[in-house]
A and B are shown apart, each in its own frame.
Chain A
Amino acid sequence: DAKTTQPPSMDCAEGRAANLPCNHSTISGNEYVYWYRQIHSQGPQYIIHGLKNNETNEMASLIITEDRKSSTLILPHATLRDTAVYYCIVRWGSQGNLIFGKGTKLSVKP
């Protein structure tokens, strides 16, 4: 059980903002929200993470709702290279590993 729900796929026009939603209604108070992405045939790449405050880095912004039951990853100006599967993760396994769900396949189109 990945504890997150994401749409299976989304399209975005090149140059526009990509807003990827994630539902994590059963998140615990001390669980962080992590976002990774996986470009085809590569290993996952860390994007951003947060606990309850909104976060921004050079790659993306993370908006977490006040009740922490959902979040949105924002890629401000999507490019073709942002086409990937995006994983929202809140759950760590007993070994300290990340547990991946099915993610959202984002297709950025010209």
Chain B
Amino acid sequence: GAVVSQHPSRVICKSGTSVKIECRSLDFQATTMFWYRQFPKQSLMLMATSNEGSKATYEQGVEKDKFLINHASLTLSTLTVTSAHPEDSSFYICSARARQGPNEKLFFGSGTQLSVL
């Protein structure tokens, strides 16, 4: 299956700093990538949709100035958490849409555990 690589897997930062998370599709081109967030014992919630070459689309309640998304190429999307605060601590997961045969599937990165002190 298609491979999505996400880095870093874990990051600890001080409150007020910014953190960048990278998501790469390794063996396919992804015009669309998605960023999810998952709090402990909860399901994945979509934060934003990243489209190559255009502005990201954010879900209701997600601050676009706080969660900056850049999708500069067909294989790379980045999520930057700006001025991180403890409430931003969460598990962030990217995914990319790939077509295999007649169907589309979403493939997911391994996730990034962000801890803000």
Contact = CB atoms under 8 A, between A and B. Distances in A.
A41 B109 CA distance: 11
A102 B93 CA distance: 16
Interface residues of A, number: 21
A49 B57 CA distance: 27
Contacts of B103: 32, 49
Interface in A36-63: 36, 41-46, 49
Interface stretch (B12-20, B43-51, B66-74, B76-84): B43-51
B45 to A, nearest CB: 8
B39 to A, nearest CB: 13
B25 interface: no
A101 B45 CA distance: 9
B113 A43 contact: no
A42 B43 contact: no
Interface residues of B, number: 26
Contacts of B113: 41
A99 to B, nearest CB: 8
Contacts of A101: 43
B90 interface: no
Interface in B28-67: 32, 34, 43-46, 49, 57
Interface of B: 1, 4, 6, 32, 34, 43-46, 49, 57, 91, 93-95, 97, 103-111, 113
Given A43-B110, A95-B34, 11 more contacts: A34-B105, A43-B95, A43-B108, A44-B93, A44-B108, A46-B1, A87-B43, A95-B32, A95-B46, A96-B32, A97-B106
15 contacts: A34-B105, A36-B108, A41-B91, A42-B110, A43-B94, A43-B95, A43-B108, A43-B110, A44-B108, A46-B106, A95-B34, A95-B46, A97-B46, A97-B106, A98-B106
